Amino acid sequence: MKKIRIGQAGLGRLGKTHAANLAFRVPGAELCAVCSPVAAEIEFAVNELGVEKSYTDFAQMCADPELDAIVIVTPSTEHPEHIRMAMEAGKHVFCEKPLAVTVEECRQVERIVEANPHLVFMLGFMRRYDPSYAYAKRKIEEGAIGTPYLVKAVGVDPDCDAESLLDSGFVPRSGGLFIDMASHDIDLMRWFIGSEVTSVAALGTVVKHMRFAEQGDVETAIAQFTFENGSLGQLHIGRASVSGYDVETEIIGTEGSLRVSPIPAKNRTTILNSAGAVDEWVRNFPERFGQAYIDEMIEFIDCINTGRAPGVNVYDGTNASIVAFAGTRALKTGEIVKIDY
């Protein structure tokens, strides 16, 4: 079977993960080219991953007739333009989230994707491909919990990374906690409930690392949501989880509930010591979602091969962004924000 030939743009931390997966762990994919303005990143791809072609210019890579698909892991602000260039060059596109940094740009990308129905477009909401989240979705579809009507989501980054994040200068240009942290949780909520968010109320606080306040952000936020179909949602996001990377989701239905990683254990080993029975936690998102990053690419390749539409589409990107923006406004104003699409 012919392998799908891929060119990837962006080789930062997450870019390296995607590139290594494409090079080694995704059957049917061949990482043929990379594009980066950073020489060391190109070198990494050539030497460590055996990539043959490299580009410093995104347009040039799109023009490469040998490539079937482009994987975009460039800075968020460049996503819309890169998606447009790649699709206009006739390439299938996988783009890391977020789709764009404004709703207007999200809508523009929708138009581009709609104009190219023969091309696969997939957005990187990789949690949907995590074995446990995928299993939860399947159980819901099988009716295991009846009709879902309440979803609770927790997404908190490890406290031990907070100070270096504050040092990095990223916080003031992150768009705020809601934009930066909540989009995966919002996507999961929409996906599990099967309906769109219609309102959001949010509250925030800074307790531990006061620099979050100095840098114009909050450390912890909670929010509650209504959905078009009458369902409800609760969210807790933050940057100061003492135990490790904390991503938990509960979906409550008329006949039962599902809890995904209620304790995000590092692995299957429990330690019994003088403290008691200790389950260590996953350290960070690469450890927690390592398999999901592989499995979403397997999905992307399979969609290209079969012509099937991927599980995550362009509208998922737009709508998650709309909710994240609304949540940000709710957090800033202290008011309940209604959402129109």
Residue 42 DSSP SS3: helix
Q: How far is the CB of 242 from its own copies (least distance, A)?
A: 5
Question: Is 337 a residue that touches its own copies (CB under 8 A)?
Answer: no
What is the sign of the dihedral through the CA atoms of 95, 296, 24 and 121? negative
Q: Which of 64, 74, 4 is nearest to 36 (CA)?
A: 74
Q: How far is the CB of 301 from its own copies (least distance, A)?
A: 11
Amino acid at 313: N
Q: How far is the CB of 259 from its own copies (least distance, A)?
A: 5
DSSP state of 228: T
Report the residue from 5, 25, 211, 332 that binds its own copies according to the rule CB under 8 A.
25
Amino acid at 41: E
Question: Is 244 a residue that touches its own copies (CB under 8 A)?
Answer: yes
Name residues contacting its own copies, limited to 123-142 (CB under 8 A).
Answer: 131-133, 135-136, 139
Helix (H) or strand (E) holding 220: strand 220-227
Name residues contacting its own copies, limited to 45-64 (CB under 8 A).
Answer: 50
Name residues contacting its own copies, limited to 176-215 (CB under 8 A).
Answer: 201, 203, 205, 207-208
For its own copies, the closer of residues 53 and 91 by Cβ is 53
Question: Is 278 a residue that touches its own copies (CB under 8 A)?
Answer: yes
Query: Which two three-digit tokens encode residue 243?
Result: 């135990």
**Contact pattern from residue 281 through residue 310 relative to its own copies, giving x for each residue in contact according to CB under 8 A and a dash for the rest:** x-----------------------------
- Pairing label, strands 148-158, 232-241: parallel
d(CA 53, CA 64): 10
d(CA 84, CA 73): 14
For its own copies, the closer of residues 183 and 226 by Cβ is 226
**By rule CB under 8 A, what count of residues binds its own copies?**
71
